[in-house]
Amino acid sequence: MRTIADHVLDIAQNSVNAKATYVKIAFVEDREKIVIKMEDNGCGMNKEELSKIFDPFFTTHEEIRRVGLGLPFLKQNAELTGGYVHVSSTPEIGTVLEATLFKTIDCQPTGDLAGTFATLVTSSTKVIWEIQRCLKGKCYDFSSEVLDGVDLSSPKAIVAIFEYFKNMELSL
pLDDT along the chain (172 residues), means of 10: 92 93 98 98 94 80 57 94 97 97 96 97 92 97 94 94 97 96
Can you tell me the distance from the alpha carbon of 75 to that of 59, in angstroms, rounded to the nearest whole number? 16
Count of CB atoms within 10 A of residue 11's CB?
Answer: 22
Domain enclosing residue 11, as ranges: 4-171
CB-CB contact of 36 with 98 (8 Å)? yes
CATH of the domain at 130: 3.30.565.10
pLDDT of 155 reads 95
Of 3, 27, 14, whose CA–CA distance to 142 is shortest? 27
pLDDT of 66 reads 47
The number of distinct structural domains making up the chain is 1
Is the pTM higher than 0.85? The answer reads yes
pLDDT of 61 reads 58
pLDDT of 60 reads 63
